[in-house]
Amino acid sequence: MAFDSLTEKLSQVFKKLRGKGRLSEADVREAMREIKLALLAADVNFKVVREFVDRITARAVGGEVLESLTPAQQVIKIVNEELTAMMGGGQSKLAIASKPPTVVMLCGLQGAGKTTHCGKLALYFKNMGRRPLLAACDIYRPAAADQLKIVGEKAGIPVFSMPGGADAVTIASEAVRHAKTYGNDMVFIDTAGRLHIDEALMKELQDIRDTVSPHEILLTVDAMTGQDAVNVAEAFDAALGITGIVLTKLDGDTRGGAALSVRRVTGKPVKFSGTGEKLGDLEPFHPERMASRILGMGDVLSLIEQAQQAFDEKKAAELEKKLEKNKLDLNDFLDQLRQLKKLGPLEKVLSMMPGVNAQALKSANLDPKLMARTEAIVLSMTPKERARPEILNAARKRRIAAGSGTKVEDINRLLKNFEQMRQMVKRMNKNPKAFGWRGLPF
C-alpha cells in the first residue's frame, strides 16, 4: 500500500511512547516532531501537516492525557481521530439522481487513470444492480474510444461512441439521450486529459459540464504524484467545481501524501480509491478505515465486505453442515481456496488484519504460486481421492505429483495441513465456546 513507509515510522513513534509509561509534555512534543517528519516524508502538504500536528499537540498535552494510566493509548486515539478528520471524517457517497440517469463526469490529467476508472466505477454500480453506460468523449488520444470499449467489454457494460468528426460535447449529450431511451440509469463520461493543465482542456470540460449538467464531477488523481496532485485538484476545482475525487494507484509503492492532503486543501471528498489493476480493484473511500490502516490497526470491516462479495452463500451453508458433522474433504478445501483467491493477493488480505506489519510482509517471501500449486494438486486427484484423502498411498501420490507438476513432498505437506485443519474443526465442535465459535464457516 502507498502508506507502508508512513505506517512503519508511526509504529516506531508509538512504540517509543508505550515504552515510557508515564508521559511528560516534552515526550509528547518529541513524538509530534517525529510524526511531523514522517508525514512530510510521505509528501503530505506542509500546511496540512502543521495544522494536523498543532491540533494533536493541543489535545495531547492536556492533563486528561498526561495524567491518564494509559497516556500512550490516549495519544494514539487522538492521532487516529485527527487523521480521520483530515481525510474527511466519514464516507462521502456518490450522489444518485432522483430521476435517472445519474450523470458522472470524470476528468483529470492524461495518465491518471480516467478511462480505467470509468470502467471500474461502472462495474461497481453494475454489481449493485444499476444499468450503467460508458461514454467515450476523449476524441484526441489515439484509440481512447477503443480502450474504453475493451474496458466495457471486460466489465459487460455498453459503450456509447460516435464516428470521427463528432465533438466531445455532442458525444456526451447524445450519450445521455441514448441512456434515457434505452433505460441506462447511470452514464459515466470519459473525458480527454492533457499532460498539463491548459485553457483548451478546461474550456471543453466546461462546455460538457454546461451541456449535460452532471450530478457528479469526479477528478481522478494519481496518488504517485504527491504534492502535484494537490495543485492539480485545486486547478480543476477552480475551473469546474469538482464534487469529489477518485484516488488511483493507492496500491503502488509510493509515499501517498496526496490522499492525506487533497481533502484538507480542496475541501472536496475522496469518494473512491483504486487499489489494483483489475476492474474490481475499487473501494469506496472510508477515512476512518484508511486511518486505521495507516496506523497499523488493520481494516477488518473492508475485509469482511470483500469476503461477503466473494463468498458463495449457498456453498457456505453446505460447508457449515459439513463442519458440524466433521465431514470436511478436499473438495471443500478447494472451494474455500478458490473463494479466498477472489479476495485478491494474499499480501493485500493480510495487510488488512490488525497488527500485521506491512514491511514484514514484503520480506516474508509469500509465494504467489502457492495457491495455484495447491489447486493443481487437488484437481489431479480423482473424485474418490478428494472425498477420502486417507486412501492416498505412495503410488497415488506419485501419480498426482506427475499430473500436477509438483513433488510428493508438496502433496504430503498439503495433506498434513488439511488434517490439522480437520482436527482443529473437530476440537471446535466439541467445545465451541472455548474458541468463540458456534459451528459457522471459517
CATH number for position 66: 1.20.120.140
- Using the CB atoms, write b or e for 19-30: b if 16+ within 10 Å: eeeebeeebbee
Nearest to 109 by CA among 239, 264, 213: 239
Q: What is the mean pLDDT of residues 433-437?
A: 44
- 93 within domain boundaries: no
Domain boundary among 51, 86, 121: 86
Same domain for 230 and 337:
no
Same domain for 159 and 22:
no
From its phi and psi, is residue 346 left (phi > 0), alpha (psi between -120 and 50) or beta?
Answer: alpha
- 144 within domain boundaries: yes
Q: What is the mean pLDDT of residues 74-103?
A: 89
Q: How many domains does the chain have?
A: 3
Stronger pLDDT, 23 or 34, i.e. the higher one: 34
Rounded to the nearest integer, the mean pLDDT of the chain is 81
Q: How is residue 343 annotated by DSSP?
A: T
Domain boundary among 264, 297, 330: 297
Reported in sequence order, the residue ranges of 21-128 that DSSP labels E, i.e. its strands, are: 102-107
Q: What is the mean pLDDT of residues 59-76?
A: 78
Same domain for 390 and 286:
no
Q: What is the mean pLDDT of residues 251-269?
A: 75
- CB–CB of 285/273 below 8 Å? yes
Asked if the model's pLDDT at residue 101 lies above 60, the reply is yes
pLDDT digits (tens, 9 = 90+) for 158-186: 999 998 778 999 999 999 999 999 999 99
pLDDT of residue 350: 54
Same domain for 178 and 64:
no
- 377 within domain boundaries: yes
pLDDT of residue 417: 82
Same domain for 114 and 63:
no
pLDDT of residue 322: 58
pLDDT of residue 442: 34
Asked if the model's pLDDT at residue 384 lies above 50, the reply is yes
- 91 within domain boundaries: no
Same domain for 59 and 108:
no
pTM score of the predicted model: 0.68
Same domain for 346 and 253:
no
The residue segments making up the domain with residue 282 are 102-297
- 14 within domain boundaries: yes
- The cell numbers describing 223, all together, are 496518488
CA dihedral of residues 203, 186, 116, 107 (deg, nearest 10): 20
- 442 within domain boundaries: no
Lowest mean pLDDT, pick from 160-169, 224-233, 271-280: 224-233
Same domain for 73 and 219:
no
pLDDT of residue 361: 47
Same domain for 244 and 109:
yes
According to DSSP, the residues that pair with 342 across neighbouring strands are none
Residue 126, judged by CB atoms within 10 A of its CB (0-12, 13-18, 19+), counts as middle
Assign 128 a pLDDT band (cuts: 50, 70, 90): very high
Same domain for 201 and 165:
yes
Stronger pLDDT, 147 or 431, i.e. the higher one: 147
- 228 within domain boundaries: yes
Question: CATH no. for residue 149?
Answer: 3.40.50.300
Stronger pLDDT, 316 or 216, i.e. the higher one: 216
- CB–CB of 178/160 below 8 Å? yes
pLDDT of residue 440: 37
Q: What is the 3-state secondary structure (H, E, C) of 239-297?
A: HHCCCEEEEECCCCCCCCHHHHHHHHHHCCCEEEEECCCCCCCEEECCHHHHHHHHCCC
Asked if the model's pLDDT at residue 69 lies above 60, the reply is yes
Percent over 70 (pLDDT), the chain = 79
Question: CATH no. for residue 412?
Answer: 1.10.260.30
Cα–Cα dist 363/340, whole Å: 22
- 92 within domain boundaries: no
pLDDT of residue 256: 66
Same domain for 266 and 241:
yes
Name every residue whose Cβ is closer than 8 Å to that of residue 240 and which is 6 or more positions away in sequence: 107, 202, 205, 206, 209, 217
Same domain for 209 and 286:
yes
